[in-house]
Amino acid sequence: MNRKEVVSKLFRASAFGLLTGIVGLFLSLLPIGSSLEENFGLDWLFKLRGIQAPPSEVAIVSIDKASAETLNLPDEASRWPRSLHGQLIRILHRHGARIIAFDMLFDQRRIPEENQAMARAMTAARNVVLSESIKPHIINTNIYIESLISPTDLLAESAVATAPFPLPKANTDVKRFWTFKASVGGRATLPTAVFHLFIFHEVYDEFRQLIKAASPEYAAQLPAYKKAVFRGDDLHRVTDTLKNWFRTEPGLVQQLHKILSDWNLPKRETALLRSCLKLYQAGNSRYLNHYGPSRTIKTVPYHQVINQSFRDHDIFREKAVFIGRSEDLQPENDRGFYSVFTESPITISSVELAATAFANLLTDRTLRPLWPQEQLILIVLWGFLVGLICFSLPVGHAALSTLTLAVLYLSVAHLKFSWNDTWLPVVIPLCIQLPFAFVSSLFFRYLTSNRERINIHKALSYYIPENVASKLAKEKHLQQLSEESQLMYGVCFATDAGNYTTLSETIDPMTLGQVMNEYYAAIFEPVRRHGGIVSDVMGDAMLAVWAMPQADEATRVHACDAALELIAAVDRFNRSHTLHLPTRVGLHYGQMRLGNVGSSDHYEYRAVGDIVNSATRIECLNKQLGTRLLVSEECLTRAGSFYTRKLGTFLLEGKSRTLVIHELLCRRTDVKPEQERLCAGFSEALALFQAQRWNDALKQFSLLMLDYPHDGPSLFYKHQCQRYMEYPPDTTSANVIQINRNAPKLAI
């Protein structure tokens, strides 16, 4: 193959790679893509990684069948004596438990002495968190609200905090947990509440000093002492305050991270503070990082704690201890949950999920899916790579290469998941994009016979609109070209560049061609981005159209937006080039015939009608007025979102109908005070001119030019006033300014 063919093949392979990337991108944006990654990809990564040791700061006291039998208690855990729970709290507190959390709901009223015994133990320990429940209230088939069911008043008042831990109602594979539950006022959930109390017990003073370093005002809103956080419902007030700060000031977290980096704190304290800050950097839910099957987290049966028959007396020291059912005492109820490490009928309990969530937050080891932007970029780049390989190489080499890439990708995903909990997508890249690329490349190899038609279509699209090129590429009878036209409504957009004649005389044609190509690239882009069609180009002039079969406001808005952006693009072009091409623009709205124009063996696609001549004349009017962007009033009939200056009524050269002309200045949202002052003063002067008070108008325009000496329309009307004072016009046509080729021109 020659060089041209190699480049062509590489281009086609790149296009196919991009297509493969787009397929993956599209699937990633659909709910089914997320579902595939969660239900299959995540499970694969967990199984590749295997069991992982949980942090030592968490333990579970399990309410299980053995404890019920040993203590001679009923199978239903909610009927166990609350005085027994009080005894458990005292034992755990005596053995140094930092936080005690019950994943049980104590909402039912029982024997007062039982409640009081448990409440006294909680009050003495001052480190117990009780669970709340969330109850849905159905409004109708599509709407429901949620409310909290709290423990009895006595127990709730004795706890340092109460918090819900919402989970699916049915036994299912649990992937996520809530950190804050928006449906109940953004309340911190049980793992989040325990996490805050656990780290505040150790680094609350440092945390408050950190906040104070960023904002003394914020720090003053936090409790001054650690003990205050462990009193009543103060924890939720603190978390609500923190959420509000970080939501209203997104940059505050990064500022606190930077301050923390400058402090020379011990590694443990720094890690705890960073974990707390990172909790507020993401949304209200996180992906669970499961450590292993049931009882991977250190678990001690309830009866062993009550009987103090466990051997390790430091087993609970400085730990967060979660208490709850670690197995269902009534298996027929089937209340358990599943994770990637569990297999039916063995399940994982709610308390183990709560302890896992806490451990994830404490160590900042919740799963980290890629940010949506990162994942989409990865999917596109991977698709591009495998598509490029499958299309460029022979079939055998492509198969071997893609298999090697798949193994390499899966290895990287496994290492990232194992080392820093980063979750890379694996199902879409390996099970969808890679097979799609390989199979599709086989299919496309049989379509080379269409290459010439595709190339013709591509070549045509450079010169005519895409829809016309597609039609012509499929058209078998080219004699029907002359019939390809429509009567349309739209905007005709004419431009002309000053200094072009001078440039063409002073520089060589090759340099001129390069400059003009760059110039046209600058002015074509806003036209095409706003839906316009470049109809004609000649020398330094461009003609573009926005057309619809029926009158449409949007075409006018798009054309005006494109005109403003074109002026800005030309300014940027002129600043970056030594050769300047100041550009004038004229817009007019009306009917046109849009289609193929020509005969015999030559056709061009362009607009035909009075609208073209009018737009060109309006563009030329810029020379007399010293302006850059003029539009007829027809363009602004409904396009009220633009700020314009009315310049008067003109009879343009070669025309028999007058046009009201405006100078298009900017979007109304972008108007500047000096523009408003200029337009207001000009409007007053123009009103005097139209009232045929030439002397007063002359004075007003002269005064206006003292503040705006370079304003072309003011200078134009100043000269017009002077001429009318010397040669008074016919009163019936005094307000219509006639423009001809001999009219004086002003530089823009």
- Residue 476: predicted pLDDT: 46
User: Which residue reads 């980290």 in tokens?
Assistant: 368
> Can you list the domains of the chain with their CATH numbers?
3-49+370-447 (no CATH), 58-363 (no CATH), 476-668 (3.30.70.1230), 672-748 (no CATH)
330 pLDDT exceeds 50? no
Report, as an integer, the average pLDDT of 566-590. Answer: 90
pLDDT band per the 50, 70, 90 thresholds, residue 332: very low
Three-state secondary-structure class, residue 627: coil
Higher pLDDT, 317 or 655: 317
pLDDT band per the 50, 70, 90 thresholds, residue 463: low
47 pLDDT exceeds 50? yes
pLDDT per residue as tens digits for the range 663-693: 999 998 899 999 999 999 999 999 999 989 9
Comparing CA positions, the residue from 286, 314, 297 lying closest to residue 348 is 297
Query: CA-to-CA distance for 361 and 213, rounded, in angstroms?
Result: 24
Indicate whether this model's pTM tops 0.75: no
DSSP string for residues in 217-241: HHHTTS-SSHHHHTSTTHHHHHHHH
pLDDT per residue as tens digits for the range 121-177: 999 999 999 999 988 777 666 666 888 899 999 999 999 999 999 887 656 788 999
742 pLDDT exceeds 80? no
Query: CA-to-CA distance for 96 and 101, rounded, in angstroms?
Result: 14
pLDDT per residue as tens digits for the range 213-249: 999 999 999 998 888 888 766 899 999 999 999 988 8
- Residue 636: predicted pLDDT: 85
- Residue 688: predicted pLDDT: 93
Query: CA-to-CA distance for 103 and 716, rounded, in angstroms?
Result: 84
pLDDT per residue as tens digits for the range 489-540: 899 999 998 878 777 778 888 888 888 888 899 999 999 999 888 888 887 8
733 pLDDT exceeds 50? yes
pLDDT band per the 50, 70, 90 thresholds, residue 384: very high
pLDDT per residue as tens digits for the range 367-383: 999 988 999 999 999 99
Q: How many residues can be counted in the chain?
A: 748
413 pLDDT exceeds 60? yes
Query: CA-to-CA distance for 631 and 560, rounded, in angstroms?
Result: 9
Report, as an integer, the average pLDDT of 257-271. Answer: 93
Report, as an integer, the average pLDDT of 27-32. Answer: 90
- Residue 471: predicted pLDDT: 56
| Lowest-confidence segment of 58-72, 425-439, 543-557, 668-682 by average pLDDT | 543-557
**Token reading at 698:** 């002359």
The percentage of the chain sitting over the pLDDT mark of 90, rounded to a whole number, equals 53
How far CA 276 is from CA of 126, 238, 285, 611, in Å, comes to 22, 13, 15, 66
The percentage of the chain sitting over the pLDDT mark of 70, rounded to a whole number, equals 88
- Residue 549: predicted pLDDT: 84
107 pLDDT exceeds 60? yes
8 pLDDT exceeds 80? no
| Lowest-confidence segment of 163-172, 255-264, 706-715 by average pLDDT | 163-172
